[in-house]
Each structure stands twice: as C-alpha cells, then as structure tokens.
A and B are shown apart, each in its own frame.
Chain A
Amino acid sequence: MHIGISITPFGHHPAAWREKSEDAIHFNALAAQVKKAEEGGLDFAFFADRLGQRPLNDLSPQAVPFEPTTLVAALATVVRRIGLIATAATTQHEPYNLARRFASLDTISKGRAGWNVVVSPGATARDQEYLDVVSRLWDSWEDDAFVYDKASGRFFLPEKMHLLDHKGEYFTVRGPLNVNRSPQGKPVVSHVLTSDTAEIALRSAELVFIDPASVDEARTLVSDFTQRLERHDRKRSEVRILANVIPFIGATKSDAQQLHDRLDALSPDRERPGGLVAIGTTLDIADALQAWSGIVDGFTVLPPVAPEGVDAFVDHVVPELRKRGLFRNSYEGSTLREHLGMHRPRHPASKAAEQTL
C-alpha cells in the first residue's frame, strides 16, 4: 500500500493545540515531523493550504504558518527521500508562474515534488485550460535538450525546445517555460475528490485523495470514480486513490479511546477533518488499514496530534504493516513517482518519434 502523511503543527484534531506550545509552528518542528515520516519510508508528506478559501480573518491552529511551496522548497534540502506535495490554488497564481514554481520544486527536490490542485469554486473551464497550459509548459524542453557543449558553444539544442503558443479563452502563453524539464518529467498532480473536482480530476489527476466518512462511502467513491475514468479513456492503474485516515493510537484500546474523547471534549463545536477514523492499539490500526486496503491504493495519515501521532504511526504501525507484507521495508526508488509506483511521463516528442518507427 501507499502511505502519505498530512503535516500540521499540532495535529489535525481541532483541539490538539490546547496541549502544546507555540514552538510547534516553527520550521524545525515541522521538519522533524517530516524526517520522522521519512524514517518510516512513507511515500510523501502533504501540505494543505486553507488559503484556497481566502480571505482569512483568523489564524487556524490546523494550518501550517508557511506558504506551502516555499516550505516544500526548504524541506526538500533537509529531507532527501520522502516525496513532498504542496497545495496551490489556480486562482492565486498565473499558470506560467505556477508551472515554474513546481518545476523548480521538482528540480530542487531531485524528483520528489507534487502539486495538489485547488480549483476555483465549481471547477470551471478556466481551471481545465489552466491545467492543460501548466502540463504543456512542463514539456517545453525535451529531457536531452541541454547539451552544455562548452567547446562548440551550444548550450541547448534548438530543435528540442518547444514553444507553447497557447491562445485560449482564458490564457495566452507563448512559452517556453524557463525551467528545464524536471526530474520526474512532470511533478505529480493530485486532487482532493469532491463533487466540484471530480470532472477535472478524471482528466488530470494522478493521485486522488478521498475523505470518506465511512467505509461504505469509500467503496462508492472509488467505484464511481473508476467507472467514470474508463469513460475518459484512462486506466485505473494510472491513478492512485488514497483515503484520509485519522488514527488515534494507544498502548491499550482504552488509552486510544481516552485520547479521542479528551480531545473531542476540548473542542466540542469545531469541525473535524474528514476521513476514516481508527481508534485502538497498533494491531487494531493495522487491522483497519489492512481491511480497507482492498478498497483503496493506500492512505493519507492525518495524525490527530503531532508529533506524537506521527511518531506512534512510524514507530509502531509501520513495522506491523511491514510484518504483514503490506508496506515496503525501505525506499525502492528516489522520486515520488517511483514511491507511488508510477511511470515517468514521456515527452510528447519522444512518443511521436516512437510512433513513426
């Protein structure tokens, strides 16, 4: 199975901050959580962005107080294996700027970056055009365009640069992108599945996050999505579907239940994160994940408290999953695509060349 972790300073439970100090919001504390996740060999660390719904009129303890793409750039140089997914909204960046930012992140991280797309409310035609422009900008240069030939003075091969010359309804972009094709070819593109995003995710998502309230809902979401994928001429195997899971982990079942109840009592009226809730010992959590793994390709872990929830998952649940043969023993590749078992997308020019053979 694939496992990622969603990072927050105090934990995903809205009351988690009440038992912590302000130190948790600093870079070193967040980096320590990501390092721990890397120690567990997890596929990626995920950074949400509540500024998709700006303007903000308060500061939320569930939000990471850094702009996600810059945080990921910084983390990429201090953790060296784990994938890093940053959320960014199509309403808040020009497509050229966003394509550059993520191509840069993929290069800085040496192939470990992902873009979690937040579309505009209702997911409009503008969003679809935006995603197409970004994806094609990432193909501005072929993989072997840069030859750096000092003797002849040729830095790149002109025929391996591709202008976009896009003139659409919403965007006009000449291109090319002024960043090389990135180590993964393209950063991994993910969407959180909602009724708004489903149509756009069907076309472009490589990684889909679902936050079901029940196992039945998870099953329905996945089977609906799979059927609709086929209508878009996409294979189920091209996409990884991961369910959010919120594990309350205790030495005993009642310890875990107490943690859950204590936190709930501290914030009775605040909204809880969406996802499957698992409460119990290491074995109980592993049992639940094992049972649900028949439905989805894996999970995004939303630790209710951090860093304890991250530590408990990595130190106890991950070894149990390994023992059961459900999770790899160590990283087998170096890029996020490799962690997720996905192919590196070929450049359209190399695909075309293949077809003419």
Chain B
Amino acid sequence: MSKAHMKLGAFLMAGGHHIAAWRHPDAVAAAGVDVDHFIALTRLAESAKFDMVFFEDAAAIRERNINTASQAARSTMFEPLSLLAALAVNTSHIGLVATASTTYNEPYGLARTLASIDQLSGGRAGWNLVTSASELEAENFVSSGLRPHAQRYERAVEFEQAARAVWDSVDTGAYVADGKSYTDRSKLHPVDHHGTHFTVSGLLDSPRSPQGRPLMVQAGASDAGKNLAARTADVVFVAAQTLQEAQTYYADLKSRMPAFGRDPDDLKILPGVSPIVGRTESAARAKYDALQELIPDEVGVALLASYLSIKDLSRYPLEGPLPEMPATDGIQSRQQLIIDLARRENLSIRQVARNFAGARGHWQLIGTPAQIVDELEERFHGKAADGFNVMGAYFPGALQDFIAMVVPELRRRGLFRDEYEGRTLRENLGITIPARAA
C-alpha cells in the first residue's frame, strides 16, 4: 500500500505527559476524572483527522512513596474502557484505543467489553495488550506477587487466542430479527477453548465488529513481546530515542512477520514522540524550560526509579551517575533505553530524571514546526516509523499547538491526510478488515 501518509495517534493522559504538566498554568489539574476534558481532547484530535486516541493504564497507583505520589497527578484516572465507551458516542471517526492487562483480566470478559465499545463506536475500538509489569498492580489482585516475564507472556499469547475466538464466535449477519428467526444459526460458532490458563466457551453477545475485530495494539519490545506483536498486532507503540534505534526496531519487528504468514504492511509501527513546538526555536525552548522548572526532584527521581525497577535510587547522589543495575522482570527494554541514553550523554541522575520526566523515555522534540516535521519525516521515510503516537506534554495546550502548527506543515509536505478515508479504525489505518478465522 501507499506509504504517502503517516498515521498519527494522540496519546492522551490526564493533564499531560510531562510529570509536572498538571502544574502548568493552562493545564486542567483535575483532568484525570473529568469526562468533558477527554471528550473535548478527543474531538480536538478528531478535528485534525488523527487516526486514534490512545490511553495507557495500570490497575494501581503508580508510586509507592505516598509523599512523592502526592506531588504528581498520576494516582487517579478513569478506568480507560469506561472512558472509551463514553468517547465512542461523542465522536464519529477517530479510533479509540485503551490499554488492558492480560494478567489481571479474563479473555471472555475483556473481549466482550472491547466488542461492546467497538459496537458503540461503529468499529473504532482498539486494545493495547499489556502484561502488567508493576508490583503495585500485582498487590491488588488475588495472585499477589509479580509473575515472571516469561509466564506473563505465555498467558498473554493464550489470552489473545481466546479473545480472538470470542470475537469470531458471531459472524456478520448472525442477527436476523425478521420476525421469523432471531438469529441465523449458521453464523454462530460457540467458542470451545481449553488451554493451559483458560477455559472459554459460548458466544459473544453482540454482532460482529464492523471492522472485523477490535484493533490489536501492543508495545512489548522484549523478544517475547516482539514475537507476539509480529504474530498478532495491527499497531505497535514503541519508545525509541535515536533514528538508529528506531530503524533497528522497525526492521527487526517487520522481518519477523513473514514467518507468521503476515504482510509487513499490515502492522503499523508508531513510536512515541513528545513534541514541544513554538513559532521560533527559542519560544519552544522557553515552553520546555517552564515545564522543567515545575518538576520537584523527588518526583522526577521516583518516576525514573519506577521505570528502572530500582527501589532506592534516591540514596544515590543527584549529581552523580546512574548506579549499575541488574536485569529485572519489569520493563526490560525501557530500562536499557534509559541506561544507554545516560551513558551516551554522560548525564547525572538529576539530568536523566528531568530528561525522562518530560516524556518518560520517549523521543522528545523541541523546536519550530519545520524542525519537528523534518525529524518526523526523516524517520517516516527512513524505515523507522509508519507514523507516531503524539504525547502532548500538557493538555490541551500541547495538542492544540501540534494541531495548529505541526499538522499544517505535515499536510503541506503531503505527509498527512486531509480527510478520513473511512469510518472504521482499520479502514483509516489502511489495514485489512479480517474475516472470521475458519
């Protein structure tokens, strides 16, 4: 298919992605539990023809130290599937993607909930599959204790198969309701899944999705994560700092697809990018600096420590380098990325923490619309990205800036659509609508 247009996601998060965003004078501080805020942001992204909005999730607060937690806006937020359902009936074209865990859900219930959102939105729902790496989440569930990485992925693989079988249990045209027959029984295929982790049987209770199945999004970057994505994902969200990292990842993931019988074009890789844009470079830099000033050291270091999966980072001197760290069962890939960056640029703990706090290890761009589009274009044409998941530093301001300044420049260069191509998320992403698996 044509590679003319990049795909854009708007990664939404309460007050913004910057850890101190909520303190910004223009930020809505109570945004995490303000449905009207999210409806307005999603409509804003839809007005600019973004492919999707995207929500991350964890089934826990994010920080164990309560004093640190109380200085950040990340402790409470809507349960994202409830939020997606509300957004579905207040928008018409934009994709709606939320994160849900295969470790703390069951396949039938989650597949059903996503199918329901897919119906509410007319085929615009997507699921970002995660396996949940945090101890704080593990402590909220029956089987407390963080499961080893390999075990989580084994469960995720089976979960995805079972969920897919649930979505495929009702084929197009199953509901007849012509007065004589309510259903066409030849279109009903009850699930009969007996696996290692799950037993699932019965039918989905809604019609087949207008886009075949809800979109499958993943962000795993470990070897197991990449194989699962190569086999099952429609979109992959990834953190990549340098062009080379992004290219390596892109080539690696797409090269795994043919082995699973898939066309590499049927998977879109969207690295995260946090753009801070100004009419001039110094205006952009001033916006960034103003946000950085708002980060308390304690909060920045704690956020970094949580991603590095080390509990006592605050013991080390702020001006010194990152300590040596053992491999963890947490987010392995993200940890390496941070360490590489710190070593490469010889950064102190405070510097890494501040740098990381802006976009949590994602790619940060600060500059004019032309400078930012140059960078995006380089990666888009350089086999490093099929598009980007745009992480606004603070809301609504950073998204408004991106739409007012960057989107027009993308369009001027023919890199982004003027109008939606279709009504479903898969149509707009240019991904084949899957038929029921035989």
Stretch in B45-53, B55-63, B153-161, B264-272 touching the partner: B55-63
C-alpha spacing A103/B78, complex, angstroms: 8
**Does A78 have its Cβ within 8 Å of any Cβ on chain B?**
yes
A66, B140: Cβ atoms closer than 8 Å: no
Q: Is the CB of A70 within 8 A of B117?
A: yes
**Considering the chains assembled together, what is the distance between the CA atoms of A153 and B89 in angstroms?**
35
Contacts A59-B175, A179-B76 hold; do A155 and B71 have CB atoms under 8 A apart?
yes
Interface string of B61-88 (1 = CB under 8 A from A): 1000011011111011111011111101
**Could you tell me if A74 and B85 are in contact, using CB atoms closer than 8 angstroms?**
yes
- Which residues in A have their C-beta under 8 angstroms from that of B86? 73-74, 76-77, 108
**Contact segment of A89-97, A211-219, A256-264, A308-316:** A89-97
Q: Give the complex CA separation of A180 and B178 in angstroms.
A: 46
Asked if A178 meets B141 with Cβ closer than 8 Å, knowing A55-B201, A155-B22, A156-B70, the reply is no
Distance of A94 Cα from B223 Cα, bound (Å): 29
* Cβ–Cβ < 8 Å partners of B119 in chain A: 27, 65-66
| A74, B88: Cβ atoms closer than 8 Å | yes
Which of A21, A150, A157, A174 is the one whose CB lies under 8 Å from B22?
Answer: A150
Query: Which single residue of chain A is at the shortest CB-CB distance from B39?
Result: A77
Question: Which residues of the partner chain A approach B136 to less than 8 Å between Cβ atoms?
Answer: 174
**B113 interfacial by beta-carbon distance below 8 Å:** yes
The interface centre, meaning the residue of A60, A92, A153 with most chain B CB atoms within 10 A of its CB, is: A153
A54 to B142, CA, bound (A): 22
Find out whether the CB atom of B61 lies under 8 angstroms from the CB atom of A178: yes
Question: Knowing A17-B182, A94-B104 touch, does A63 contact B85 (C-beta < 8 A)?
Answer: no
Knowing A67-B112, A101-B79, A155-B73, the reply to whether A94 touches B142 (Cβ < 8 A) is yes
Chain B, range 85-105, C-beta contacts under 8 Å to A: 85-86, 88-90, 104-105
In the complex with contacts A17-B182, A150-B25, A180-B33, A58-B203 CB distance below 8 A: yes
Within 8 A of B (CB), among A21-75: 21-22, 24-25, 27, 31, 50-51, 54-61, 63, 65-67, 69-71, 73-75
* A259, B276: Cα distance in complex, Å: 65
Q: Is the CB of A71 within 8 A of B23?
A: no
Q: Which residue of A lies closest to B145 (CB)?
A: A172
Instruction: Number of B interface residues at 8 Å Cβ cutoff, please give it.
Output: 76
Q: Which residue of B lies closest to A21 (CB)?
A: B177
Instruction: Let me know if A70 and B116 touch, CB within 8 A.
Output: yes
Please judge, given known A-B contacts A67-B112, A155-B22, whether A59 and B183 are in contact too, CB under 8 Å.
Answer: yes
Please name the residue on chain B nearest to A61 by beta carbon: B182
Q: A67-B113, A154-B71 given as contacts; is B188 within 8 A of A58 (CB)?
A: yes
- 1/0 per residue A87-111: CB within 8 Å of B? 0000011101100110111011000
Out of B70, B88, B175, B203, name the residue touching A22 (CB < 8 Å).
Answer: B175
Most buried by A among B82, B85, B117: B82
- What's the Cα separation between A21 and B30 when bound, in Å? 44
- Tell me the complex Cα distance, A173–B171, Å: 39
Interface residues in A158-201 by Cβ distance below 8 A to B read: 158, 161, 170-180
Q: Does A141 contact B (CB under 8 A)?
A: yes
Asked whether any CB of chain B lies closer than 8 Å to the CB of A20, the reply is: yes
Given contacts A155-B73, A158-B67, A180-B76, contact A59 B112 (CB under 8 A): no
Q: Which residues of A contact B116 (CB under 8 A)?
A: 66-67, 70-71
Query: Which residue of B is nearest A9, CB measured?
Result: B177
The 8 Å CB contact of B33, one of A60, A97, A179, is A179
Contact with A along B163-183 (1 / 0, CB 8 A): 000000010001111111011
- Is B418's beta carbon under 8 Å from chain A? no
C-alpha gap A55/B201 in the complex (Å): 6
| Cβ-based interface call for B363 (8 A) | no
Q: Report if B263 contacts A (CB, 8 A).
A: no
The minimal Cβ–Cβ distance linking B370 to chain A, given in whole angstroms, is 33
Name the residue on A nearest B201 (C-beta): A55
Looking at the complex, which one of A21, A57, A60, A155 makes contact with B72 (CB distance below 8 Å)? A155
4 tightest Cβ-Cβ pairs between the two chains A and B:
A55-B202, A73-B85, A67-B116, A148-B29
Given A22-B175, A25-B177, 17 more contacts at CB 8 Å?
A: A18-B180, A20-B177, A21-B177, A22-B176, A55-B191, A57-B190, A63-B205, A65-B175, A73-B83, A78-B89, A92-B109, A96-B59, A101-B79, A107-B78, A172-B142, A174-B140, A177-B76
Q: Which residues of A contact B (CB under 8 A)?
A: 17-22, 24-25, 27, 31, 50-51, 54-61, 63, 65-67, 69-71, 73-78, 92-94, 96-97, 100-101, 103-105, 107-108, 141, 146, 148, 150, 153-158, 161, 170-180
25 sampled A-B residue pairs with Cβ under 8 A: A50-B205, A54-B202, A55-B190, A55-B201, A55-B202, A55-B203, A57-B203, A66-B206, A67-B115, A69-B113, A70-B113, A74-B88, A77-B86, A78-B89, A94-B104, A104-B83, A146-B76, A150-B29, A155-B72, A161-B66, A171-B142, A173-B139, A173-B141, A179-B77, A179-B79
